[in-house]
């Protein structure tokens, strides 16, 4: 429904059309249709934004070296050692964490613009794995480059592949994702078998691709 600007002039006829347009303006305003007024800060109750009002998602990762937070500077995150000494060597830039040793990362971030469809259908889950190290991974429903311009994957200084997001395995993993922490993924990742990708799909960044199936 479109927003209709209405004026009522003294002496003019109040028609059914004008009344229906007035009524339809409620839906047009809620739906942010063109021309409708927007809700300003002062019109909103305080403390109205609870957890479920925020458009958030979680990201999980296990990485050594420098790790790019999927949610960038919109990320709440915790990191913890995978076992040995874990020394945080500093925040190396907005949205980046640098460590010695390896660490689990768990993020919750405010989403920018889901879903992501680059021409082959909406991608439900971006699961990256480091080439040559089947422990390091990053899983999130948003692509890391969306919050960190220039990042093709989260593992700075390493090579990584994106697992075919249109495979059955990733499709099902996407349904589980909200219930999975980094340690849950770490248990699961060794069971994933990666092979050269059979069908190419389009992405806005140059990133290596791979097919995946559950062992």
Fill in the per-residue mask, 64 to 103: x = in contact with other proteins (CB under 8 A), - = not in contact.
------------x-xxxxxx-xxxx---------------
Closest approach of Cβ 19 to other proteins, in Å? Answer: 4
C-alpha 123/C-alpha 159 separation (Å) is 21
Binding window for other proteins (CB under 8 A); candidates: 119-127, 137-145, 150-158, 164-172: 164-172
Token duo for residue 191: 């069971």
Which residue carries 């849950």 as its tokens? 184
Smallest CA-to-CA distance from 35 within 25, 20, 21, 23 is with 25
CA atoms of 147 and 150, how far apart (whole Å): 9
Closest CA to 61 of 154, 152, 196, 148: 154
Q: State how far the Cα of 28 lies from the Cα of 47, in Å rounded to an integer.
A: 25
Give the binding range for other proteins (CB under 8 A) out of 2-10, 123-131, 143-151, 171-179: 171-179
Nearer to other proteins, 60 or 148 (CB): 60
What whole-number distance in Å separates Cα of residue 174 and Cα of residue 23?
Answer: 41
Whether residue 123 contacts residue 142, with contact meaning beta carbons closer than 8 Å, is answered with no
- In this complex, which beta carbon is closest to other proteins, that of residue 54 or of residue 122? 54
Rounded CA separation 153/143 (Å): 8
Position among 67, 104, 116, 147 found at the interface with other proteins (CB under 8 A): 104
Output the smallest distance, CB 127 to other proteins, in A: 12
The residue count for binding other proteins (CB under 8 A) is 64
| Residue 106 touches other proteins, criterion: CB under 8 A | yes
Residues in touch with other proteins (CB under 8 A): 14-16, 19-20, 22-23, 26-27, 29-32, 36, 38-41, 44-52, 54-56, 58, 60, 76, 78-83, 85-88, 104, 106-108, 168-169, 172-173, 175-176, 178-184, 187-188, 191, 214
């Amino acid at each position: 429904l479109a927003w209709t600007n209405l004026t009522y002039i003294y002496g003019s006829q109040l028609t059914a059309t004008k009344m229906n347009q007035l009524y339809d303006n409620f839906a047009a305003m809620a739906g942010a249709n063109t021309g409708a007024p927007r809700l300003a800060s002062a019109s909103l109750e305080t403390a109205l934004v609870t957890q479920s009002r925020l458009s958030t998602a979680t990201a999980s990762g296990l990485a050594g070296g420098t790790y790019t937070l999927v949610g960038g500077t919109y990320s709440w995150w915790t990191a913890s050692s995978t076992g040995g000494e874990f020394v945080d060597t500093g925040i190396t830039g907005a949205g980046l964490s640098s460590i010695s040793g390896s660490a689990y990362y768990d993020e919750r971030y405010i989403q920018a613009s889901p879903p992501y469809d680059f021409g082959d259908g909406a991608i439900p889950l971006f699961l990256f794995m480091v080439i040559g190290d089947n422990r390091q991974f990053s899983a999130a429903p948003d692509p890391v480059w969306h919050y960190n311009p220039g990042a093709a994957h989260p593992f700075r200084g390493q090579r990584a592949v994106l697992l075919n997001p249109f495979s059955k395995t990733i499709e099902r993993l996407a349904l589980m994702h909200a219930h999975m922490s980094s340690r849950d993924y770490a248990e699961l990742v060794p069971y994933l078998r990666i092979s050269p990708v059979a069908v190419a799909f389009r992405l806005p960044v140059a990133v290596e691709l791979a097919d995946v199936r559950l062992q």
